[in-house]
Structure 1
Amino acid sequence: MAAYDYVVAADDRPEHREGFHMPSTEWREVFLPDESTRHADQARVFTELQRKRLKKQGHGRALHRNGVAALKAVLAVEGDLPEYARQGIFATPSAFEAHVRLSNGNFSLDRAPDIRGFAIKVLGASTPSSTGVEQNFTLVSQETLKVSGSADVVGIVDLSTSAPGAALRKVATKPQLTRSAVVNFRDMAKPFSGFATHDFFSIMPITFGDYAARLKLCAASTAVNKEARKDLAADIFGRLADDDLEFLFQAQFFEDERRTPIEDSSVRWDTPWLTVARLRLPRQAPDEALAETIEKSSFNPWIAATEHRPLGELMRARQAAYALSWHNRGVAP
């Protein structure tokens, strides 16, 4: 498959903007004492959620169980990227086939508050160190997550899925968790216009070779469908019945711990975005065979090229949770 002839104009490149600083390779992760034990204990919370859902709905994911759409895609890497961005699968202009899974964070119903997921599985990519790489990117409809670490995330999920009586008892005994939950629920309750017209973010960074970067998928359209909220799947497939959709895939690079903290998911990074690729969804209709394949797949950010591994304590906690979730789903790898 041929690469596309997209090039970022020189005047639009971050390094040509006033106040630009070259990305730094001096980023550092912070590892907590007994971290692996903590993460294993937290993963068991999600296992319990899976077990409860198994009785009602059969095998499925621990989180983002409710799939909205399964789609074919192409990730086309930009030409003429600056050296610091020519890393991993973005090293040379190329076009890779991909699968996309759109999802709701809630377990079944599409309702607010919620955090939507846009997961991308790049198939058969090449990097300077290997070929045939499967690269997963998982993005959500929020740019930040206002938590102090993975323990907060687990507590919020546990709180939101508890029965009313149990939830009230947890609120009474964990005021800090309650405050964190309220702040994040407010963010999740903000209007969501649909998967084609909303931006998506990685929240936490990944490595970009020796550099580090957060990721963003820019909305493919500004034409908001006021009826999209009633049926998100109908909205995306209605658009794809008429034309392709194209999203800008951008990276935001680490410069220093103050402006671009590696471990703090609550901080919006203060550095420019660079378009490193474009994600094209070609015209298509719902495909049951594709949907079955994608539902059986694991969209795990730790399935990645060595140049693009996830960073931060939150992402290491996800590694433990995803591994256990996959084991409990009852599908063949």
Structure 2
Amino acid sequence: MSLGPRINDAILGLVTLEHRVDPYFRDGFNALLQHPLVNMVQFFLRLLHKNPETALCQEIVEPDEQQIAAAITEKMKEFTALEYQGRTAERAGNTKTYGVVRAEFQVLEEVLPIVRKGVFAEAKTYPAWIRFSGPGPLSPPDVADAGILSIGIKVMGVAGDKLLGDEKWTQDFLGISCPTFTTPNTKENLKLQGEIYARTPVFYFFKPFDSHLLDAAMQGLYARMNRSPLEVQYWSCVPYLCGDGLAVKYSVRPASDHKTKIPWNPPDNWLRQSLAMRLANEDVELDFLIQAQTDPRRMPIEDASIEWPERLSPFVPVAKIRIPRQRFDSPEQLDFANVLSYNPWHTSATHRPLGNQNRARKLIYTQLSEMRQAMNHAPHIEPDGSETFQQ
């Protein structure tokens, strides 16, 4: 191993060490300091990132976007081919599956008229498959992972024409446990993918003349040794349409303050185990929320490193996610989790993804999913909620 990956792994080793003591102080730290520090980091990000948007729901498409998206896709394909040669291919992002669980997505009776569009147009309950996962691109022991979790919600039985032709009745929502994305735009994401392929992702954040320390700080303020995938808040990070002329972001948060105790030396698959323990004993509810864009300068479409201030536009509940008590960790159901394809473009035009990172995802997610399915000899399937698995 060359010097660069060795330095990268040594820094990540410090993250692992922090995760072992994290449970003993992190709640108090977050209660006292997280929001003030986030506000400070966001202040400097806004100073450095000049926002040219002047109108609500304004997208600014750069002329080289398609080439950048193609370059990101190819770099991630190269990583996938190299990393999973001769074995089951995993996703290049949101990689480690903690579990896919059966759920209900219940649109509420009382929803603000401005967002009662598309899937939120009427009070209705849909079946859903929810995938909880880690950030990737590898699947280390949970204590050694970056500490940012991912959620993918596949709502089924949703009528209407879809923007991708591979699924006819699904609506996908994606999020991570940080309100901003790892990179502000696709140009920076391409740099990150290059470092990932070189096994030096830490270098992306700490290069002396091309530093991304502020983005690292934002991720670090939300990264932690997590108790359970059911006990963190998730954010879409990037915006979506909601009808004509309204941009929104999504969030999912726990409906209770249940806190699972983390053992001193957690097992490698602790997050899968904690998820299984909770769902073996009780039903769980999560709130699904929407935040509307109200200020084009303070709430940009194209910059995913800028948090939309809740004091300008709070998140409001539009749906309830109900996860019944269940077993989900059979080999058959875990295999099913690997076959599923989550894509923000599994949606109708009413909820079209917005911004350069979302526009790039259409190519990236589609081609990487096709590559993974081909490597695993697993054809694409569109679930309908009727799937059953031996327990």
Whole-Å separation in 2 of the counterparts to 1:167 and 1:326: 26
Distance apart, 1:275 and its partner CA: 0.3
Distance apart, 1:199 and its partner CA: 0.2
Q: RMSD in angstroms over aligned alpha carbons?
A: 2.7
1:150 to 186, 191, 199: 186
SS of the aligned residue for 2:303 comes to: coil
Q: Does 1:208 align with 2:242?
A: yes
Whole-Å separation in 2 of the counterparts to 1:308 and 1:50: 30
SS of the aligned residue for 1:55 comes to: coil
> What are the superposed Cα offsets for residues 249-294 of structure 1, whole Å, 9 maximum, x if unpaired?
0000011212321112122212111100011111101243333223
Which AA in structure 2 matches 1:119? G
Pairing of 1:107-256 with structure 2 (within 5 A) = 107-109=138-140, 110=142, 111-126=144-159, 133-145=169-181, 147-160=183-196, 162-163=198-199, 175-177=209-211, 179=213, 182-183=216-217, 186-187=220-221, 189-210=223-244, 211-227=246-262, 230=267, 231-256=270-295
Does structure 1 conserve the Cα–Cα contact (< 8 Å) formed by 2:289 and 2:319? yes
Distance apart, 1:296 and its partner CA: 0.5
SS of the aligned residue for 1:176 comes to: coil
SS of the aligned residue for 2:158 comes to: strand
Q: Does 1:320 align with 2:355?
A: no
Distance apart, 1:142 and its partner CA: 0.6
- Flag structure 2 segments of 5+ consecutive residues without an equivalent: 1-54, 381-391
SS of the aligned residue for 1:213 comes to: strand
Distance apart, 1:193 and its partner CA: 3.1
Whole-Å separation in 1 of the counterparts to 2:133 and 2:197: 18
Does structure 2 conserve the Cα–Cα contact (< 8 Å) formed by 1:42 and 1:151? no
Does structure 2 conserve the Cα–Cα contact (< 8 Å) formed by 1:217 and 1:248? yes
Q: Does 1:280 align with 2:322?
A: yes
Which AA in structure 2 matches 1:227? I
Instruction: Classify 1:200/1:162 alpha carbon distance in 2 versus 1 (closer, same or farther; 3 Å).
Output: same
Instruction: Classify 1:78/1:249 alpha carbon distance in 2 versus 1 (closer, same or farther; 3 Å).
Output: same
Whole-Å separation in 2 of the counterparts to 1:29 and 1:62: 27
Whole-Å separation in 1 of the counterparts to 2:306 and 2:215: 17
Q: Does 1:303 align with 2:350?
A: no
Does structure 2 conserve the Cα–Cα contact (< 8 Å) formed by 1:134 and 1:305? no
Higher strand share: 1
Question: 2:73 maps to which residue?
Answer: 43
Instruction: Classify 1:192/1:152 alpha carbon distance in 2 versus 1 (closer, same or farther; 3 Å).
Output: farther
Instruction: Classify 1:242/1:167 alpha carbon distance in 2 versus 1 (closer, same or farther; 3 Å).
Output: closer
Does structure 1 conserve the Cα–Cα contact (< 8 Å) formed by 2:148 and 2:224? no
Number of equivalences: 307
Q: Does 1:67 align with 2:97?
A: yes
Whole-Å separation in 2 of the counterparts to 1:78 and 1:255: 23
SS of the aligned residue for 2:231 comes to: coil
> What are the superposed Cα offsets for residues 32-67 of structure 1, whole Å, 9 maximum, x if unpaired?
112111210111111111112222642222212211
What TM-score results when the alignment is normalised by the length of structure 2?
Answer: 0.72
Whole-Å separation in 2 of the counterparts to 1:184 and 1:136: 25
Does structure 2 conserve the Cα–Cα contact (< 8 Å) formed by 1:133 and 1:305? no
Distance apart, 1:185 and its partner CA: 5.2
Whole-Å separation in 2 of the counterparts to 1:319 and 1:174: 33
Distance apart, 1:198 and its partner CA: 0.5
SS of the aligned residue for 1:318 comes to: helix
Q: Does 1:332 align with 2:374?
A: no
Distance apart, 1:179 and its partner CA: 3.5
Does structure 1 conserve the Cα–Cα contact (< 8 Å) formed by 2:234 and 2:253? yes
2:336 to 293, 299, 312: 293
Question: 1:85 maps to which residue?
Answer: 115
Overall identity of the aligned pairs, in %: 25
SS of the aligned residue for 1:250 comes to: strand
Higher helix share: 2
